[in-house]
Amino acid sequence: MAATDFKDYYAVLGVSKTATPEEIKRAYRKIARKHHPDLNPGDKDAEAKFKDLNEANEVLSDPEKREKYDRFGQHWNQPNYAEAPPPRETNTGNGFEQYGDFDSFINDLLGRSQRRTSSEGFRSQAPAPDTEAAIALTFSEAFHGVQKRLQLDTDTINVRIPAGATTGSRIRLKGKGRPSPFSQQRGDLYLTIELSPHSFYYFEGDRLLCNVPIRPDEAVLGTEINVPTPDGSVTTKVPKGLQAGQSLRLRGKGWTLPKGGRGDLFAKLQIVTPQDLNAIEQECYAKIQANTSFNPRAHLEEIKL
């Protein structure tokens, strides 16, 4: 690799050379999502940046590769590039006695490894590298499962993603990674799932949630409401006196579970105050205000510094 072709993998991911593995992982996920080809169809610049991001993440997330990269820079992945060995200590003669022949002396002097003379055997034993890539899915695709066609360098790969994937889920495709520079055997491809934001549903940990608005009178007196779920609307009861921020648990109406079945959906209630009141509503609210004994701020009177 020419010096002008050198890629600063730390700069590509926007992290410092002292970044922890967790910081590298977070940086990769954040930037990879922005430049993912599925989110930028036809954008060659985004495609090139995404390729560089995968390359940088593959090296910096692997402790052994990262150590070589930090030591050798642009030459880190060249099989014959190594530091010259330390000088040997000799007590007598001119130092040639420790070598079997002159070629051995020259090899040692130039820092050539003896295994270089049997490079074919070395190449056949070199492990194939694994490849990391991110793939963006809609909530619908992840919930139901989907067939995707991916482009890895010049190869087109078909992958079946089972139902129930969530952000951070990993899928292993055996033998679908990039080929080893030594043996040309392919490593495995690991796909990390990223869910695109949904307008209604969201995750907190592994729980699927949604926000459902209710009126003040519904919160006070209780009611029945319709709640959208991933496979259709259901009717559920709102107990009287429920507070804003409390959740209704809809059992078996949440996310698809990888081993089968469904999780629960949590509908978080939000009390919404009406803005435009008709005459009757205005009168009723005024009567409540004038006759209520409830003071939600009574406990604040005892607060002092």
Chain centroid to Cα 249, Å, comes to 28
Phi/psi for 291 (5° steps) reads: -115, -5
**Residue 247 domain flag:** yes
pTM value is 0.56
Task: Answer whether residue 141 is part of any domain.
Answer: yes
pLDDT at 195 over 90: yes
Chain center to CA of 232? 29
Mean pLDDT of the 108-115 span: 48
CATH number for 9? 1.10.287.110
- Which of 143-152, 246-255, 265-274 shows the lowest mean pLDDT across its residues? 143-152
What pLDDT, on the 0 to 100 scale, is given for residue 175? 86
Q: Point out the least confidently predicted range of 12-26, 189-203, 245-259, 277-291.
A: 12-26
Which one of 164, 181, 197 terminates a domain? 197
Whether the pLDDT of residue 74 is over 80: the answer is no
Q: What is the DSSP string of 25-83?
A: HHHHHHHHHHH-GGGSTT-HHHHHHHHHHHHHHHHHTSHHHHHHHHHHGGGTT-TT--P
Where a domain ends, among 149, 172, 197?
197
| Number of domain units in the chain | 4
pLDDT confidence band for 2 (50 / 70 / 90): very low
| Per-residue pLDDT tens digits for 234-254 | 999 999 998 999 999 999 999
More confident residue, 192 or 126: 192
Q: Which of 176, 197, 218 represents a domain boundary (last residue)?
A: 197
- The band of 17, judged by pLDDT with boundaries at 50, 70 and 90, is confident
Please give the residue that has the higher pLDDT: either 290 or 177.
290
pLDDT for residue 190 is more than 50: yes
> What is the tens place of the pLDDT at every residue in 255-267?
999 888 999 999 9
Residue 140: helix, strand or coil by DSSP?
A: helix
For residue 104, give its domain range.
Answer: 85-125
Distance, CA of 170 to chain centre? 9
Does some domain include residue 143?
yes
Tens-digit pLDDT profile for residues 211-233: 999 999 999 999 999 999 999 99
Let me know if residue 303 belongs to a domain: no
Residue-wise pLDDT tens digits, 24-72: 888 888 888 787 777 777 788 888 888 888 888 888 988 888 888 888 7
**Whether residues 112 and 61 fall in one domain:** no
Q: Is 225 exposed, middle or buried (0-12, 13-18, 19+ CB in 10 A)?
A: middle
Q: 206 and 289 share a domain?
A: yes
